[in-house]
A and B are shown apart, each in its own frame.
Chain A
Amino acid sequence: MLSDPKLVVTDAFGLRNTAITSGPPGDDAEALPAPATLLLDRNGKVLWMDVSEDYQRRSDPSVVLAAMREHFDAL
Chain B
Amino acid sequence: MAMKSGTKLGIAALAIALGTTVLWFRMTGTVGLPDSRAGFVVAWIGAIGLGIFAFVRGTSIPGALAPLLGVVVSSFLLFTVYISPQTIDAAKSIKVGDTIPHFTAPDGHGETFDSASLNGHLVLIKFFRAHW
Interface residues of A (CB under 8 A from B): 1-4, 8-21, 32-49, 51-61, 64, 68, 72, 75
Contacts and interface: CB of A to CB of B under 8 A. Distances in A.
B120 interface: yes
B105 A47 contact: no
A20 B128 contact: no
Contact of A56 (B84, B87, B92, B115): B84
Contacts of B126: 35-38
Nearest to A64: B124
13 contacts: A1-B107, A3-B105, A3-B106, A14-B88, A39-B124, A40-B123, A40-B125, A42-B119, A42-B122, A44-B100, A49-B95, A56-B80, A75-B122
Given A3-B105, A3-B106, A54-B84, A42 B121 contact: yes
User: How many residues of B sit at the interface, in one of the four size bands?
Assistant: 35 or more
Given A38-B125, A56-B33, A43 B99 contact: yes
A45 B108 contact: no
B94 interface: yes
Contacts of B31: 58-61
B99 A35 contact: no
A2 B91 CA distance: 25
Nearest to B95: A46
A46 B86 contact: no
Contacts of A64: 124
Contacts of A44: 99-100, 115, 118-119, 123
- CB-CB nearest 4 A-B residue pairs: A14-B93, A14-B92, A40-B123, A2-B105
A36 B127 contact: yes
Given A15-B88, A56-B28, A21 B83 contact: yes
Given A48-B96, A54-B84, A15 B127 contact: yes
